[in-house]
Amino acid sequence: MFKRCSAAKSILEFAVAVSPAIVVFGIMMIVSFGTNTAEGLFFSRSMRGVAVRFLFITAILLVPITLLSRLLTLIGKTMRNAPFSIQLVRAEVSTGGFSRLVAWIIRPLQGIGLSMIFAKYILGFFEYFSSTSYAGAIFRPTMFLVNSALASILLSIVWSLDDLGVRIYNRKTTEVHMAGSYVGGILPLLFGAIGVYSLFVGGSPVDAVVSLLEIMMVLYSPYVLFAVLHHKFVGRHKAMLSDRLLLGNLEVKVGEKEGG
């Protein structure tokens, strides 16, 4: 009985954690169903197209989680052997709690921002699903897949470093920074701005805004699932993943000489 209650509680907690993804995906499905002629809506011709694309994008984003141990091992060895003035160190900080702000807003927006650098290729990929011809549009879908995979790998590494309480310590300046302060914060904003700008160039501002909103709705649910499952995976394998990083012996208290 206890095991059943525990399993039911875990399922309920997971359902709550991914509820924004379910809501946004449900809205797209309902709108697609409610408009009898959904041609072009959310870049899809049918409800099935919306569902298939959602599963496809989510699967691509989740693949790096299965490779996370190897990726962190590579990062740890590279940082340990490279002649840099910086090293990865362990911070005295509790990172085990689930943050709705991070999982529902910050990290999905980081992912969407990274994806937006290839905004035009994303549109091409979506048009591939809405097109009646499955023989064309090979290059753009390929670029979208490559972009999504690279964004997923980068974010998976950065999020893991933050969730594990890892900081970047500069031996020359003795400054300590969060691992995601630049890569996880500035880069998505920069790439997102570039992608948004590309949508507005050579087109109608209204069409660009509509396309931007549709891209955000299409990508939001997969990135929320990615963020939640990534957090749970890191939480369950925290000790093992920390060992893979070959962290330095310096213990850093959060707040001491720590920059954003």
pLDDT, average across residues 168-183: 71
Is there a contact between 244 and 76 (Cβ–Cβ < 8 Å)? Answer: yes
Q: How confident is the model at residue 222 (pLDDT cuts 50, 70, 90)?
A: very high
Residue 213's Cβ-side half-sphere holds a number of Cα atoms within 13 Å equal to 8
Q: Which residues contact 22 (CB under 8 A, 6 or more apart)?
A: 15, 221
Instruction: Note the pLDDT tens digit of each residue in 149-167.
Output: 888 998 999 899 888 888 8
Strands 258-259 and 248-253: unpaired
**Distance from C-alpha of 90 to C-alpha of 161, rounded to nearest angstrom:** 10
- Alpha-helical (H) ranges within 132-204 are 139-163, 186-200
Q: Which pair of tokens denotes residue 178?
A: 């969060």
User: What does the pLDDT read at residue 42?
Assistant: 47
Strands 176-178 and 166-170: antiparallel
pLDDT at 15 over 70: yes
Instruction: Note the pLDDT tens digit of each residue in 128-152.
Output: 555 545 544 566 566 677 778 888 9
Query: Which of 19, 224, 56, 26 minimizes the C-alpha distance to 148?
Result: 56
Give the angle subtended at the CA of 241 by the CAs of 227 and 147, to the nearest 5°: 45
Q: Which residues contact 185 (CB under 8 A, 6 or more apart)?
A: 110, 260
Buried b (16+ CB within 10 A) or exposed e, 175-197: ebbbbbbebbbebbeebbeebbe
pLDDT at 13 over 60: yes
Residue 71: Cβ within 10 Å count: 18
Is there a contact between 223 and 61 (Cβ–Cβ < 8 Å)? Answer: yes
